[in-house]
Structure 1
Amino acid sequence: MLKQYQHIQVAVDGSKEADVAFSKAVEVAKRNGATLEILHVVDTRAFQDVSSFDSAMVEQVSEEAKTKIEEYYNRAKDAGVKDVHYSIEFGSPKNIIAHEFPEEHNIDLIILGATGLNAVERLLIGSITEYVTRTAACDVLVIRQPAAQNEDIKKNQEN
């Protein structure tokens, strides 16, 4: 029997992979009648490398994140997801996506895009997707390709 998910988290960062994951999350949330939590994490480690820390820079990043996440929110509502929320968090994306946010919001499914990193980059800096799949307490769905491509593949395999 298939599990009925009630609280779905999708992590978005504006990348193509995150956009594909978001589209799938909308489908899954609608199919399950679930709450969809759209999450964007601003990696504060990026600001630690800036020698002259500028609060205006943080505000600009925050405003850009808010604009983008509101677009995702509106897309989910327009697609028919009834219960949608969004959050912008600051800190370590790995820890927030895998542990902090799911625990605070009773998440039972995390959806994220496959990493855009190559093998060397994953070795040096690690992959958020890899970390989440390995350490999250709930189910994790990694989206590798757009839903429309999945349907095309199924149709080709049937013929």
Structure 2
Amino acid sequence: MPQFPHRILLAVDGSQEATMAMHHVLDLHGYTQTEVHVVHVGLVSGWTNPRTLNQDQLDRLRQEAQHVLDDQVHQMEEAGLTPTMTYVRLGRATDEILRLRDEIDADLIVLGSRGLNTFQRVLLGSDAEGVVRHAPCPVLVVRRDK
């Protein structure tokens, strides 16, 4: 029998779609009083960064990712919700979101999607598509109407 989620994982990237996803989480939280965990993944991969990154570069990426996360959390707090926990991860977004989902045992993943066309998805991949395809729990993908 389906239940309301007890633990939501919200993945943010600073985009308008991530803000829209956050508003959906705010609505869900208002009805269910769930735990809300928020993650931002700073992209680090062999494909986009072919050279080995030194510690200074990793620190810079981590600081940039933390800034994006802090901005989103600030918006949430202004709307009346303080997240249960926040996380900065570095790596491939799909992998890190799913790994964190397993660590915290989230019942629902919420994320925004920019709605890439087929060509863009083939070249860049789609984090939302990867999460939906591999997540062991429900996923809410929020998209802006075009």
TM-score when normalising by structure 1: 0.78
Alpha carbons of structure 1 residues 83 and 10: separation in structure 2 relative to 1, 3 Å:
closer
Sequence identity percentage:
28
Structure 2 residue runs of 5 or longer lacking an equivalent are: none
Residue 130 of structure 1 corresponds to 129
**Is the 1:114–1:142 contact (alpha carbons within 8 Å) kept by the matching residues of 2?**
yes
Structure 1 unmatched runs, 5+: 147-159
1:7 aligns with 2:7: yes
RMSD value, Cα:
2.4
- Preserved CA contact (<8 Å) 2:66 2:88: yes
CA deviation map 1:49-86 (0-9, x unaligned): 35473433322222122122122223323323255321
Q: Return the alpha-carbon distance in structure 2 between the equivalents of residues 32 and 55 of structure 1.
A: 42
Q: Which amino acid aligns with 1:16?
A: Q
Could you give the per-residue CA deviations for residues 121-158 of structure 1, whole angstroms, max 9, x where no partner exists?
11223211111111100010011138xxxxxxxxxxxx
Q: Give 1:22-61 correspondences, 5 Å limit.
A: 22-45=22-45, 49-51=49-51, 53-61=53-61
CA distance in 2, matches of 1:143, 1:104: 23
State the partner residue of 1:109: 108
Moved over 4 A (4+): none
Q: What does residue 95 of structure 1 align with?
A: 95
- Partner of 1:45: helix, strand, or coil? coil
Partner of 2:128: helix, strand, or coil?
Answer: helix
The yes-or-no answer on 1:119 pairing with 2:124 is no
Partners of 1:52 and 1:136 lie apart in 2 by 30
Give TM-score, length-normalised by structure 2: 0.84
1:109 is aligned with what amino acid?
Answer: L
Q: Deviations over 1:78-117 (max 9, x none)?
A: 32325532100122211121x2111110100000112342
CA gap 1:131/1:51 in 2 versus in 1, 3 angstroms: closer
Change (3 A) 1:48 1:115: closer
The structure with the largest helix share of the pair is 1
| SS of corresponding position for 1:60 | helix
Q: AA paired with 1:144?
A: R
